[in-house]
Amino acid sequence: MNEVVVDIKNVKKSFRTKKAVNDLSLSVSRGKITGILGPNGAGKSTMIRMLMGIMIPDSGEVIYHLDSHEKIPRSRIGFLPEERGLYKNEKVMDVILYLADLKDYDKEKAKQRALDLLVRFGLEGHEKSKIEELSKGMAQKVQFIGAIIHEPEFLILDEPFSGLDPVSQDVFKEEIQALADNGTAILLSAHQMNIVERLCDEIFLIHKGEKVVYDTVNNIKEQFSNYKCVLVNTDTTYPFNEDERVERVEVEGNQTTIHFHQDVHPLSYIRSFPDDLHWDELHIDRKSLHDIFVSIAKGEGS
């Protein structure tokens, strides 16, 4: 199943003199979770707003293949924005039903589905509570329900896990996976790399409005997962980063992490350590998606 739901072709968007998005192209397919990653200010939100028709690209195209006469078939798209918010003075069920109504979803069906989803998200009995009476996490769940109440074919989730406790994160992860399994095309923007690594089928990584990499998670790891070496309780004054094989060095507490350039095997580097350099522990590992992200964000890995 690789049916493309939306094609973004060479879109550009500038704000006055600043290029927010520069010539980006991306496709999202049914049943797939595509992660859109990038540091703050990379252009993710602009990209998402262009997808939703909230912003119009300066050039390029956003083409939906959802069998609709509308350019942006809003009723078939679900959207959880990064900015969390709902009508604070309104009741949970009223807000969900209003959002469903705006998506032209049948009211009775929406009511039943809302009750089911509230149970699934542990919010049973809260349908008549006002949003302001809920905790931040609970309100976030209501907003998530609002985004999926109308059974969207394409779902955009902008930072769905931020501010959630680990248990709630798991609930969200399961729900997102279930939606993808049922054929929903999902575009996921998140900073929790471990979750992205586990959930996403492919990743679109951008930095300063430019594409850095767009590939499957496995291919990216293959391509970018250089080695790293962690030394515990070593001499932090030692000039590890003076070696040209080293990409960068991070010191955190008693741990010193040495990141190597591509194709550098750490053993050859470790052999070059002086005999008097002390350490208690030494670990050699591949870079995680998190490390790749950090490398790119710091402009070292692109």
The residue ranges that bind other proteins (CB under 8 A) are 49, 52-54, 56, 70, 74-75, 77, 79, 81-88, 90, 98-99, 101-104, 143, 146-147
Angle, helix 92-102 to helix 107-120, in steps of 10 degrees:
130
- Do you know the residue count of the chain? 302
Burial class (CB in 10 A: 0-12, 13-18, 19+), 215: middle
Which candidate, 158, 18, 14, 36, places its Cα nearest to that of 85? Answer: 158
Angle, helix 107-120 to helix 136-148, in steps of 10 degrees:
140
**CB of 29 closer than 8 Å to CB of 2:** yes
What CA–CA distance (Å, rounded) separates 186 from 30? 8
Nearer to other proteins, 45 or 257 (CB): 45
Dihedral sign from CA coordinates of 172, 176, 181, 183: positive
